[in-house]
Structure 1
């Protein structure tokens, strides 16, 4: 398997997974959009920390520079998720 094919396959799988969010949103009609976003970010962060602790790469999370840029990216990502979930609900 070439690197190009592998990257395209990973991108395709990520798009399919992200595209199925609407199906799961129907099951979560009782929850507010804020709660859904919180739990999505919380479980994603937990999985990331678990993976980095197993591979002993927790040092990669050290913020050395561009902290304001990273904070802005986080805020924009939450706004994007809020807009997306509001639109499909």
Structure 2
């Protein structure tokens, strides 16, 4: 039996929101992402820029790897999802 798996993507727009999500559901955040987010301290613009870059790269890798689609968890951050889609050309 073959069932396509569609990756779920949550844009990174706030380190606080990401950490809260991680703590609540047990999702592990890669160490390098945690360290980069910590290096930005309270610079929300840098966190958003970093998040858009990282998530866009992840989506590109998933698409190149054959993902049948991408499911975005917008978390009321539709502007971030639209920007990622724009960067992906979709």
TM bracket, shorter-chain basis = 0.3 to 0.5
More strand by share: 2
TM-score where L is the length of structure 2: 0.35
Higher helix share: 1
Flag the structure with larger Rg. 1
